[in-house]
Amino acid sequence: MLFTEKDNTLKAEFKFKDFRQAFAFMTEVAFAAEAANHHPEWSNVYNTVVVKLTTHDAGNTVTQKDHDLAFSISKIYGKYA
């Protein structure tokens, strides 16, 4: 798994060849997150996307929803790696 768990979050950093590819990845992740009704905290600077997952309505802890979305995000990233 590309994510690490620390301080009640799952976190990963994804690198891409350029901004366009990073943004395409974020677009795909946005659709997956919306379908799961579970949304990441994330940032993008040029070719790097940082994603943090935690379940706010469960007291800001890592839940199965986070692990499921992390799996989906990792699978999406596999298309770009």
Residues 6+ apart with CB under 8 A from 46: 18, 19, 22
Q: What does the pLDDT look like over 17-31, one tens digit per residue?
A: 999 999 999 999 999
Q: For the chain, what is the domain count?
A: 1
Give me the mean pLDDT over the 33-50 stretch. 96
DSSP bridge pairs for 9: 6
- Reported as a pLDDT band with limits 50, 70 and 90, residue 58 is confident
> What's 9's domain CATH number?
3.30.1360.20
Which residue segment(s) compose the domain that 14 sits in?
4-78
